[in-house]
Structure 1
Amino acid sequence: MATTHAVTDRAIDAIKQMILVGELGPGHRLPPEKELAERVGVSRNSLREAVKALSVIRVLDVRQGDGTYVTSLAPELLVESLAFMLDLHQGSAEGQILEVRRLLEPVAVEQACARLGDEDFAVLEQLMVDISEHSSVEELVAADLAFHQRITSRCPNAYLSSMLEGLASATARARTWRGLTEDSAVESTLAEHRRILDALRAGRADLARVHTAAHIAAVESWIQRGADAG
């Protein structure tokens, strides 16, 4: 006899298949609960559990009194569940999350290079001007996040840029501690950002990729030194 979990998984797979074959698309309303449960071959309770699970990961949108709809399935919406999981692991997995950023973000920066315009460069320059040795740690981290997100938002791969936004937020705590404990944090961050920005402005996507990897690796090294000291 199938377990409740297995039956719910079957319902999830059935709804997923309906989306994959185009029977359901972004914004489409699911068939009535009774009809869909009979079609899938599960109880209405199991179907409700499947719908609940898919709504949590932002595939379905349950509208009370109206029905259940497929969301827009936009990359930034679907990646929210990843960001949520990363938030739960803050403080225990920053090193591993930074490693993922180091592997992915340089690629996004390289792809974004040709898509950055004068307005983007003006914003990036201003983010650097706004930071000085008198800036608070919170201001430094906010500027660092904005700097990276401005660049990666121009990456043509929407899934990659959305994923990196979640990863960047998940490592903000590590950067805050770096700012609190490393005397040269502001100077180092500005110098690293300057190398990335100059490479992008020069159209050197290959250099921007290298400098981005080095920038993230610097924070990784700081975390490792702290772990070794502890």
Structure 2
Amino acid sequence: MRNIKLIIEYDGTNYFGWQKQPHQKTIQEAIEYSIKKITKEDVGIFGSGRTDRGVHARGQVANFFTEAKIPGEKFKDAINSVLPSDIVISHSEEVDCSFHSRYSAQGKEYRYVIYNRRIPSPLLRNYAYHVPQKLHFDLMQKASADFIGTHDFTAFMASGSSVKDTTRTIYSIHLNKNHEIIELKINGNGFLYNMVRIIAGTLVDIGIGKIDSSYISEILLSKDRKNAGHTAPPHGLYLEKVFY
């Protein structure tokens, strides 16, 4: 058996997230179906992690095992020829059989996009979180630095997760503003369920004055989800890179 690694870009607007589920249109199912059309095999692909309904990706990573003789680097062209236009394999290669897209991962980078203008944009409605209130960018930027380092992120985890270890390390976090667009980039060794969206929502709440910019450390220490801000919507979130 050969192990093929894929790097995947997708627009998550029309999908119920990454993970295959009954009677729903998902990214995983679309790719598995396309691989079957090429290889005539029933393959299961392993993703680096789930993305929720409406979340996008520029650098999702997956792998699958196959007996097909197609050269590793040619799989991307073959699969792309039958994939829907809102999913693209940007890279493919054959890797060692020990590689697993999820368990071999050392970290991830996410991007969250905020559109800060009173009037919404129909062009960005599926790709950025529209916040009509004026955001104080300097307060958001100041507060964001307090996330860097190793912390227990229980306060920034949505309910429904079964993980036992809620400690994660954030290596870097950057907020950039270009006219009405604010982008959050966050790089860490792992992320809890909805962690990036809750961080983004908390920074928005700081920007509108709902939460004091000096409270991030206290929220982290409290380990209480009720003390953090709201969960920002999924359509502003992008999985940018997975690190191995």
Interval containing the TM-score (normalised by the shorter chain): 0.3 to 0.5
Structure with the higher strand share, 1 or 2: 2
TM-score scaled by length of structure 2: 0.33
TM-score scaled by length of structure 1: 0.35
Structure with the higher helix share, 1 or 2: 1
**Bigger radius of gyration, 1 or 2?**
1
